[in-house]
Amino acid sequence: MGDWFVFVVAAGVAALWLYLLPAGQRGRAWHFALAPVPALVVFGSTTLPDSDLRAALAVWLLSGAAALALLLATWMAGTVGRNHGYMDVAYPIAPAVIAWTAALKQTSPLSPAAIAVLTAVTLWGARLAFQTFAQNHLGEREPYASWRAGGGSKWVWWSLFQVYFLQGVMLWIWSAPLVFAVLAPSGGPLVVAGFCVWAGGFLLQAVADRQLSRFRSSSAGKRQVLDTGVWALVRQPNYLGEAVMWWGYFIIGLAHPLGWIAIVSPIFTTWFMGFGSAGPFKERHMARTRGAAWQAYCDRTPRFFPFPRPRAGS
């Protein structure tokens, strides 16, 4: 009875979400693709026979509920403070909440895989949350400010879906490997390999963010393009670093017999960061604000992957 009640609630939220979707909303496909996902997972968890997969889905759903509580609190803070940039702070915290909720659900000692992924996601979440709080706490940044300006009186409620639920469902899908890693019964070479991959991505993102912060604080940052350091390797080293980290989480999650199911997570993350949303948004913004300097940078620097390199003069 309880499982079916949760399904009805999840399906009702999805229906309300899509009913409220404005006719002219950009990115409508994202809403139609992501809104039904929680209800579908609840349905699958309810109808599957008792198995390791059903148990994993149940933990994933519980962890998602904990992340939802975080996002609802953040939405309320953003509504009162008129600053939904707080979502950027909650963004790296939500996966950590998912992983730690799964860990607290366990009655047996945590495996090396669980310890590795909890350490990794906590370090990433703390670093990025601290950085984004420093960037967002003084005022609402883009694109949230423009969304508020164009949302009118409906923005108070639609912001919950546009900003928090949309990103929340996406992060929940991405976090599936974290749950499998926490539930993994042991460790082994995959855990070591996955943590090394994660560490490489973490270092790349941290260095890229640090170099960008220094550049923005300089006089050149107001009118030029950062093309030195790791930014000479690719145009989106911070996004590439994040994608690499999610591949690291997935590899650690392979310590669970069913961890391979979560392959959708790193594929989705890599596509989203480089080609689906985050990367293209940045590319459009830079082309609009940096003009010829940005085009020259694009002509000599790959977009997301370091290879192949553009040919000189091509």
Q: How far is CA 186 from the centre of its chain?
A: 27
Question: Is 175 found in the same domain as 110?
Answer: yes
| pTM summary value | 0.93
Looking at the fold, whether 122 and 143 belong to one and the same domain comes out as yes
Same domain, 170 and 98: yes
Q: 28: helix, coil or strand?
A: helix
| Domain presence at residue 309 | no
The count of structural domains within the chain is: 2
When pLDDT is cut at 50, 70 and 90, the band that residue 62 belongs to is very high
Neighbours of 130 (CB within 10 A): 11
First-to-last alpha carbon distance for the chain, in angstroms, is: 64
Q: Whose CA is closest to 294, among 209, 230, 236, 219?
A: 236
HSE, CB side, 13 Å, CA atoms: give it for residue 150: 11
Three-class SS state of 137: coil
Look at residue 30 and tell me whether its pLDDT is greater than 80: yes
Q: Are residues 266 and 237 in the same domain?
A: yes
Are residue 33 and residue 177 in the same domain, yes or no?
Answer: no
Examine residue 314 and state whether it is found in any structural domain, yes or no: no
The answer to the question of residue 185 being in a domain is yes
Q: Compare 43 and 24 and report the one with higher pLDDT.
A: 43
Residue 314 reports pLDDT greater than 80: no
Query: Are 286 and 236 in contact, with CB atoms under 8 Å apart?
Result: no
Same-domain check for residues 221 and 137: yes
Domain boundary among 28, 47, 66: 47
100-138 pLDDT, tens digit per residue, is 999 999 988 999 999 999 999 999 999 999 999 988 777
Q: Closest Cα partner for 304 from 279, 277, 269?
A: 279
Neighbours of 301 (CB within 10 A): 18
Distance, in Å, from the CA atom of 81 to the CA atom of 89, rounded to the nearest integer, reads 14
Please report which confidence band the pLDDT of residue 234 belongs to, taking 50, 70 and 90 as the band edges: very high
Q: Predicted confidence band at 218 (pLDDT cuts at 50, 70, 90)?
A: confident
Structure tokens at 152: 């009118």
Residues 89 and 230 in one domain: yes
Position 150 pLDDT exceeds 90: no
Structural domain that includes position 112: 48-300
pLDDT at residue 60 in the model = 96
What is the total residue count of the chain? 314
Evaluate whether 23 touches 58 at the Cβ level (below 8 Å): no
**Does residue 162 belong to any structural domain of this protein?**
yes
Q: Which two tokens stand for residue 263?
A: 């392959």
Instruction: Count Cβ neighbours within 10 Å for each residue of 233-260 and write b for 16 or more, e otherwise.
Output: bbbbbbbbbbbbbbbbbbbbbbbbebbe
- Arithmetic mean of pLDDT, 27-37: 94
Q: What is the mean pLDDT of the chain?
A: 92
User: Is the CB of residue 190 less than 8 Å from the CB of residue 116?
Assistant: no
Q: In this model, does residue 277 exceed pLDDT 70? A: yes
Same domain as 158, residue 38: no
Q: Which helix (H) or strand (E) holds 136?
A: helix 112-136
Same domain, 108 and 15: no
Q: Of 275 and 220, which is predicted with more confidence? A: 275
The answer to whether position 306 is within a domain reads: no
For residue 128, count other CB atoms closer than 10 A to its CB.
21
Flag whether 170 is in a domain. yes
Residue 176 or 311, more confident: 176
Looking at the fold, whether 256 and 289 belong to one and the same domain comes out as: yes
Residue 311, in any domain of the structure: no
* Percent of residues, the chain, with pLDDT higher than 90: 74
Q: Are residues 40 and 185 in the same domain?
A: no
> What is the predicted pLDDT for the residue at 271?
96
- Are residues 176 and 32 located together in one domain of the fold? no
Of the chain, the percentage scoring pLDDT greater than 70 comes to 97
Task: Indicate the pLDDT class of residue 230, thresholds 50, 70 and 90.
Answer: very high
In the predicted structure, residue 220 carries a pLDDT above the cut 90: no
Residue 264 burial (CB count, 10 A): 13
Q: Cα(228)–Cα(248) distance, rounded to whole angstroms?
A: 26
Q: Which residue has the tokens 């601290």?
A: 130
Inform me whether the pLDDT recorded for 311 exceeds 80.
no
